[in-house]
Amino acid sequence: MSLDKNSKIFVAGHHGLVGSAIWNNLKSRGYNNLVGRSHKELDLTDQYAVKKFFDEEQPDAVVLAAAFVGGIMANSLYRADFIMQNMKMQCNVIENAYKHGVKKLLFLGSTCIYPKNAPQPMKEDALLTSPLEYTNEEYAISKIAGLKMCESYNLQYGTNYIAVMPTNLYGPNDNFHLENSHVLPAMMRKVYLAKLIHDNNWDAIRVDMDKRPINPPAKLQEIIGEGNVDGKNDKERILKALAFYGIEDNKVTLWGDGSPLREFLWSEDMADASVHVLLNVDFKDIIGIEKYSSVFYGVRADGEVNRNNSEGRGGAIPQLGEIRNCHINVGTGKELTIKSLANLVVRTVGFEGQIEWDASKPNGTPRKLIDVSKLHSLGWQHKVEIEDGVKKLFDWYQSTLA
């Protein structure tokens, strides 16, 4: 099922790291009938607001790139939010996509869906084979539910919903807030601020803090009191707040021991892969069936036959066997240790201080490399290597402080 250049495409989360890159990628390919809403304009956790949006806009395709995300610290602090907010968004968008006859939906998940001790590199069929990593269990469960929703709607209703599972992402519009950022932007900002403290460059520190103020959690409030920490605060309060996150004069303390292996994908590469899948890959391509039998149609919840998709089918077809793990891994198939990543960031920023590792803090999953052979077989491979990507990310980050 192809989308033409006039198709109306709703990109949910179009201001985010991946959503903004997907938006730009679609534009570059000549897809200009794009619809986006900020969180203030449309709260995707609000069932009635989402229905009203679909009633009014009637999109032809949907990219679900919106999510409640963060690193190990955020996952530990906001466990209920991580499962509830993501489940609400996914249920509301996927349900309304179906009810409004959306032709194609792309759901973005995460490779944290795989078991903590999954065989490496992780193939799609490693899903649900053993326990998850505890520190991000809630987020992982919400994303598993999302990909299963896509799979199940396809099998019951003959829809064309595809789920892609990206590895760790980084790039333009990344989140550098100290409270809930992912490992690479958090590491980069910490190293940069530690260097500025050592250089006594308070003008630059204040610019940085004004751009991304700290909203202190309860434990930090016990140290510095209530209220955001920004560039207008006195030096002592700023230094105490930064120290809470392991940022000191020429010294940065990072969680764990630096041994975990991680794979990183440039967000614009992820966007290119996502758009490639959206435009060129159908559910039948993934499950290896040349064409659905036209005898089978999806049966809607109200009992009516769904004939939106003449190639659709409903319910289980015994001769096809069990159909599962229809999602697609998206990554580079390459990895490096967190310690090696830190060294790369140190060189990029020009930091001459000390990196300390707090081994009393959790490492997270020991290794998280994905098998990308399915993606390669569908005609896409990454372009940006991590060494170039870290430099590109630091250049972007500094451009936001200019």
Rounded to whole angstroms, how far apart are CA atoms 271 and 108?
Answer: 10
From the centroid of its chain, how far is CA 30?
A: 25
**Which residue reads 């435009």 in tokens?**
279
Measuring CA to CA, which residue among 257, 248, 256, 241 is closest to residue 353? 248
- 304's enclosing H/E stretch is none
The 3-class secondary structure across 168-197, one letter per residue, is EEECCCCCCCCCCCCHHHHHHHHHHHHHHH
Residue 304 burial (10 A CB sphere; 0-12, 13-18, 19+): exposed
Measuring CA to CA, which residue among 165, 65, 169 is closest to residue 123? 165
Q: What secondary structure does DSSP assign to 46-71, as a single string?
A: -HHHHHHHHHHH--SEEEE-------
Q: What secondary structure does DSSP assign to 242-298, as a single string?
A: HHHTTEETTEEEEES-S--EE-EEEHHHHHHHHHHHHHH--HHHHHT-SS--TT--E
Tokens representing residue 33 in the block:
């009938």
**Catalytic site residue from 78, 98, 114, 139:** 139
* Cβ neighbours for 159, distance < 8 A, ≥ 6 positions apart: 97, 98, 102, 105, 153, 283, 298, 309, 312
* Cβ neighbours for 146, distance < 8 A, ≥ 6 positions apart: 64, 86, 90, 94, 107, 109, 163
Based on the residue annotation, tell me whether 139 is a catalytic residue of this protein: yes
Rounded to whole angstroms, how far apart are CA atoms 191 and 198?
Answer: 11
Active site residues: 139
